[in-house]
Structure 1
Amino acid sequence: MIVKKLVTFALGTGAAIAAIAALSLPTTHQSVEAAVPIPGPRTNVIATEEAQVAVFAGGCFWGMEAVFQHVRGVRSVRSGYAGGSAETATYEQVGTGRTGHAEAVRIVYDPNIVTYGELLRIYFSVAHDPTQVDRQGPDVGSDYRSAIFPQNAAQRSVSRRYIALLNDSGRFSRPIATRLESGRFYDAEDYHQDFMNRNPRHPYILAHDVEKVEDLQATFPQMFTSTPAA
């Protein structure tokens, strides 16, 4: 079930808001678990280059993109698909849940300003609910799974250890569902890029993603920037 296809693309803005309210669906925001304060990783990726890349999946890429665009030190964020092949990396095909892709974001960041570990902390605490399996709030299917696509061995090691730390911390009421996967990242269609900034009144954005950015600012004020990355 892909609510943003069935509701927000099929109806006008006013009708879509009413339809979403009538469905009484849970939000993609981690209010189910609450935007819990969590410890940072005990290990980190050593900065060896001026710019590094992180790829995360965690529900609809519109909200994930919006959150990381407002992280200080992030240079760019692209919405796209990871985990499947190039031939099926289209919104219509990925939405069937049969291509192996997850909706994901590719983050280019300056490790001298924000570390990979800090990005992970934001990812697990405010960007999505890492305890949900093959869904985020109203969006259901393997294409909305929680997954990290490490770009090197160091990222894989830090991510694996951090998941173990969070599971042992008792901060979440359910086990972390986030998977470590491999696979190339493919850009989504142009109309998905920079979606929240271009469509700030879109009903899906208002219902599910605005409060994620607000939680980022409230939980990590020192990492927040009001000027979004491209």
Structure 2
Amino acid sequence: MPRETKQAKLERALAVADRMNEHYPQAECALVYGGNPFRLLIAVLLSAQTTDKGVNKVTPALWEKYPTVADLAQANVADVEQIIKTIGFYHTKAANCIKCAQMVLSEYGAEVPRDIDELQKLPGVGRKTANVVLNEAFGIVEGIAVDTHVFRIAHRLKFSASDTPSKTEQDLLKLYPREYWGPINHQWVLFGRETCIARKPKCDTCFIQDLCPTYAASRKAAEKRAAKK
């Protein structure tokens, strides 16, 4: 099979974006944070390797007990652990929440920084979290947040073959024009939850199956197996 040209890949990528816009025209962050950038920061920090639904179950109690940055900065780690203990890695996340609040308070005057490099200085905050916070809270698009869904979909669509989220992000940034970056995370997360599921993707009913090399390869393999019977 001939190797896909750079132009052909770009056209396919833009076609995927068009389909995503049709199916998810108003895709938004599933985390509930009340429009407060600091609460969003903490919620995204908590969401690592945990579902947004699980995070949304614990954050109301967290905000009630610690309504401000200063309140959380003075929290006892055991108390925070008790509130968030139903989510994964809660010991580490509880400590990072408090340290993050302390640094936002002491270094940034209780205001979440609007810079991707400054955000990544905060405990527990990586590039994915920084991208989500900048995009969602401030409308600043510096990159594409690559979580497990985006990583998986990028590879199934053959838009990346890189082995880390950061490298995968760079592949996507090189492929997509900047004006397309903003909606990708929210749209692909929904797509990953509903259709391009990790273990059993719903390829037969997928609205981008004709644009997916992985689906094409699986169909070709199925046809070969059928021909041998």
Using CA pairs below 8 Å that are at least 6 residues apart, which structure has the higher relative contact order? 1
Structure having the larger proportion of residues in strand: 1
Decide which structure has greater helix share: 2
Q: Structures share a fold, TM > 0.5?
A: no
TM-score range, shorter chain: under 0.3
Task: Pick the structure with greater CA Rg.
Answer: 2
